[in-house]
Amino acid sequence: MARPYYSEPGDRIESTRPVTVSRYRGFIRANHWITALSLILLLISGLAFFHPSLYFLTGLFGGGQNARWLHPVIGVVLFFSFLTMFVQLWRLNMPRPEDTTWIAQIGDVVKGNEENLPEVGKYNVGQKFIFWGMSILIVVLIVSGVMIWEQFFGELVTIPTRRVAVLTHSLAAVAIILVFILHVYAAFWTRGTLRAMTRGTVTGGWAYRHHRKWLRELAGRRQRGPAE
């Protein structure tokens, strides 16, 4: 059997009356929420250190000292949780021929005229942008974060280098906050998306409207059967 092009092996049509499609397995969903929670905690603790007027946010962590040592530890958790998700999903987030047309018709995306858009696989260009944006920014954050983690790595870099790392870390943090906000907005804007990460399934209508090539591949796999 050929390797799926638009889907993962675990994706499948669970039922036909009504049509219900399995989009994310339990492990992926749990890992996604660990990543999201880690990012939120880093956002809050990072903002507390960003400006004195936001220092009160350290109270959510039990004070400044706790927030100071928890921030880099949570950063490591974020890196490895996202790495786990990256290993599973990177292939389906690679560019596809239809992505160029999708970008060219971005106006239809904003207006919600999806009937004018090309059929896409499990992820559209917007989702791929968020995935790769997160991937790059998390690498920048972990590398720059290690460089400024004085408790364990203070002697590995010079003070001028550490200053550059602090600036890089701050800029990457602002960028990932913007990408995260875009991700959350898109999840609420596209009705039915949150169900995929809470229940693991989507309706057949949702799959047909937003990710038709993905659904067609699953339907073809169902017709052929697991033995082929």
**CA-CA distance, 17 to 13, in Å (whole number)?**
11
Look up the pTM and report it: 0.89
Predicted pLDDT of residue 113:
74
Task: Establish whether 51 is a catalytic residue.
Answer: no
Provide the token pair at 120: 């896409």
User: Which residue matches tokens 């954050």?
Assistant: 141
Does 48 score more than 90 pLDDT?
A: yes
Predicted pLDDT of residue 1:
47
In this predicted model, which residue has the larger pLDDT, 5 or 111?
A: 5
**CA-CA distance, 104 to 25, in Å (whole number)?**
32
Predicted pLDDT of residue 191:
85
For residue 24, the SS3 value is: coil
Q: Of residues 32, 71, 169, 183, which has the active-site annotation?
A: 183
184 close to 190: Cβ distance less than 8 angstroms? no
For residue 138, the SS3 value is: helix
Across the strands, what pairs with 18? none
In this predicted model, which residue has the larger pLDDT, 146 or 3?
A: 146
The domains located in the chain, with CATH, are 1-23+103-123+200-228 (no CATH), 26-89+124-188 (1.20.950.20)
**CA-CA distance, 61 to 40, in Å (whole number)?**
13
**Residue 178's CB: how many other CB atoms inside 10 A?**
11
Task: Tell me the three-class secondary structure of 88-156, residue by residue.
Answer: HHCHHHCCCHHHHHHHHCHHHHHHCCHHHCCCCCCCCHHHHHHHHHHHHHHHHHHHHHHHCCHHHHCCC
**CA-CA distance, 88 to 31, in Å (whole number)?**
11
pLDDT band at 223 (very low <50, low <70, confident <90, very high): low
Does 152 score more than 80 pLDDT?
A: no
Does 137 score more than 80 pLDDT?
A: yes
In this predicted model, which residue has the larger pLDDT, 191 or 128?
A: 128
